[in-house]
Every structure is written in C-alpha cells, then in structure tokens.
Amino acid sequence: QVQLVESGGGLVQAGGSLRLSCAASGSIFRLNVMGWYRQAPGKQRELVASVTSGGSTNYADFVKGRFTISRDNAKKMMYLEMNSLNPEDTAVYYCNLHQLPTYDYWGQGTQVTVSS
C-alpha cells in the first residue's frame, strides 16, 4: 500500500512563490517516476514536471525556468519549487507515483490559487 500526501498549497499573489511537498509512505520497491500534475477548472489534467528514481527530470514548457522538481529518496519526499507564479498557474496540484510496469498512485491534491 502506497500513500501520497501533498502539502504546501495556498493563496499567493502573482509573482510570488510556493513550495509543494509530497510525502510517500509504504513500499516503493522498483524503478519509478514521480511527478506533479495539475488540473485547472475546465481543463484536462496535465503533467507539470517529473523526476525518475535515478534523478532525471522533465518539465512542461509552460513552467521551464520557473519551477524546479526534486526528490529525496531516503526521506521518500518529492518537492516542487514554484517561482514567478501567475494566475494561469491556478489549479489543483497532484502528486503521482508511477511504479513500473503498471502501477499508478495519486495524492489527494493541493489547491494553488494565484491572484492577479
């Protein structure tokens, strides 16, 4: 049983910063990819950034240069440092763990609201 819990969301003014955290518990026992997804009202859920168990990162074009994803395998933690936030970043942000070959786990989501 794997549990994922996000924290760090909230209300911030445009241009501000937030740091999201994802705490994992349970057995993580194979090669995996962790990522942050977000879903805004009326939009499909989209990948924001991902990081493999080996540390390789990938970013959506709309966050490159503004967001940084990282993970601490020993602490079973993943982070998303968000800078230069704008109202278009307003969404529910979800933590995801994909364990090869077929398992996907999701957190409950944390709301990020950016005011103009």
Distances (CA, A) of 18 to 9, 32, 116: 7, 25, 15
Give per-residue pLDDT as tens, 83-114.
999 999 999 999 999 998 888 999 999 999 99
- CA angle, 32 then 36 then 41, to 5°: 140
Mean pLDDT over all residues of the chain? 95
Give per-residue pLDDT as tens, 32-56.
999 999 999 999 999 999 999 999 9
57-59 and 46-52: which strand pairing? antiparallel
